Chains A and B, each alone.
Chain A
Amino acid sequence: MPSSQFEPLPMSSGEPTPASAPSAQTNPIRDAIAEAINEHKVILFMKGTPDAPACGFSARTVAALQALDAPFAAVDVLPDPRIRQELSALSDWPTIPQLFVDGELVGGCDIVIEMFESGELAQALL
């Protein structure tokens, strides 16, 4: 069984919304992201997929999770620029990848690798 699963969010297959959609009342993309973060113990927002990362930082983060045999959900932010925009607004973190564990932002590539090397990542994923 693969140690990771790629689960596309429904948002990328939705019909296009008007460019000037009011952001105050409803924000389906941000809601879908928040829901995905809450539903998965470990979820990685990345460029590309675990099998085909599209960026070295995403690739290194995936490699750290796989080295620990940690199951994780992954979301590719590339299909729609709004995913990245809404994710960063939600997390107050400007870059991709972003790893969440138990609903909390753990960090981007630098922090994940630092925590992997120190053993903290294995602890956090328990």
Chain B
Amino acid sequence: MRMPSAEDIKQRIEAGIPGAHADVEDYTGGGDHFRASVTAPAFDGLSRIQQHRLVYAVFGAEIGGAIHALALKTGTPSKVQTN
């Protein structure tokens, strides 16, 4: 199986969570350690834990498998995290 790129991860998050916007970085360049900043209206009213679970759910068993790490920063569009 082909290693996913940061762009693949971004597209899957945005396809999996309605209205989501994701910035994804492959921070080792190896196709298995990613860092994502995700905003979505669907996060409104959810705890951080619940927000992260929504993103993890897009990838299911791939997290901890083919995707070794997916570091997350999540928020609603009104509270966009800069950085």
Contact = CB atoms under 8 A, between A and B. Distances in A.
Contacts of A114: 48, 73
Given A95-B63, A95-B64, A109 B53 contact: no
B63 A94 contact: yes
B80 interface: no
Interface residues of B, number: 12
Interface string A93-111: 1110000000001111111
Contacts of B3: none
Nearest to B63: A94
Interface in A74-120: 88, 92-95, 105-111, 114
Contacts of B73: 110, 114
Contacts of B71: 57, 109-110
A111 B63 contact: no
A105 B49 contact: yes
Interface residues of A, number: 14
Contact of B53 (A57, A92, A106): A92
A111 B52 contact: yes
Interface string B45-75: 0001100110010000001100001111100
B52 A110 contact: yes
A94 B64 contact: yes
A108 B55 CA distance: 14
A95 B70 CA distance: 9
Interface of A: 57, 88, 92-95, 105-111, 114
29 contacts: A57-B69, A57-B71, A88-B64, A93-B49, A93-B53, A93-B56, A94-B63, A94-B64, A95-B56, A95-B63, A95-B64, A95-B69, A95-B70, A105-B49, A106-B49, A107-B48, A107-B49, A107-B52, A108-B52, A109-B71, A110-B52, A110-B71, A110-B72, A110-B73, A111-B48, A111-B49, A111-B52, A114-B48, A114-B73
Interface of B: 48-49, 52-53, 56, 63-64, 69-73
